[in-house]
């Protein structure tokens, strides 16, 4: 065996080592990406859960949420402020879900699973008033389009179920 042949074998072994290293790194990057996506999904699902826990934490808080969605004009100034913060927080969570899905960080089923419930909220009189008066400028143009489309589609749920009201004898909703 001469030196040229030994050099060629060395080069072949070097190429094989580089290919093996690249394959290993590729698998590590995929595993890291999956772990990052799972962590991001868990974080946003946790935030959604915390929001729901907050809304349902007391009858008073739940009442502010549902009365606010119904557009109840009898909310006190403090309750209106509380409702605006709750709606802003809800919108922020849904916007993050939207962008994480578009970026491929979340499975699209998460958005689709919640789309009908979100549409019920977006179509509510209280949400629409907040959006028109304050909310539209607090979100990105792209997400604003999504919200506006969902608001235009309206709710699939009768108002007395969506906004916590009880239907009156005539069939129209009234406050609970």
* Stated pTM of the model: 0.70
Q: Can you list the residues of the chain whose pLDDT is less than 70?
A: 1, 155-176
pLDDT digits (tens, 9 = 90+) for 54-73: 988 999 999 999 999 998 88
Q: How many CB atoms lie within 10 A of CB 96?
A: 18
Indicate whether 26 belongs to any domain: no
Indicate whether 24 belongs to any domain: no
Between CA 76 and CA 85 the distance in angstroms is 14
Split into its structural domains, the chain has a count of 1
pLDDT at 85: 94
Burial call 106-130: b when 16+ CB within 10 Å, e when fewer:
beeebbeeeeeebbbbbbbebbbeb
Structural domain of 81: 37-174
**E strand or H helix that includes residue 166:** strand 166-167
Between CA 63 and CA 91 the distance in angstroms is 19
Indicate whether 63 belongs to any domain: yes
pLDDT at 89: 94
């Amino acid at each position: 065996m001469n030196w040229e042949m030994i050099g060629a074998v060395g080069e072949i072994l070097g190429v094989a080592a580089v290919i093996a290293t690249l394959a290993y790194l590729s698998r590590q990057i995929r595993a890291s990406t999956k772990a990052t996506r799972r962590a991001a999904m868990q974080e946003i699902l946790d935030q959604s859960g915390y929001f729901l826990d907050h809304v349902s934490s007391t009858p008073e808080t739940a009442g502010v949420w549902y009365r606010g969605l119904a557009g109840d004009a009898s909310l006190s100034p403090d309750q209106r402020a509380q409702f605006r913060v709750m709606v802003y927080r809800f919108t922020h969570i849904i916007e993050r879900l939207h962008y994480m899905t578009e970026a491929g960080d979340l499975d699209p089923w998460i958005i689709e699973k919640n789309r009908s419930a979100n549409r019920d909220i977006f179509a509510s009189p209280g949400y629409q008033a907040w959006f028109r008066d304050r909310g539209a400028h607090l979100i990105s143009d792209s997400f604003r389009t999504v919200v506006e489309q969902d608001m235009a589609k309206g709710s699939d749920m009768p108002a007395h179920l969506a906004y916590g009201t009880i239907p009156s004898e005539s069939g129209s909703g009234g406050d609970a």
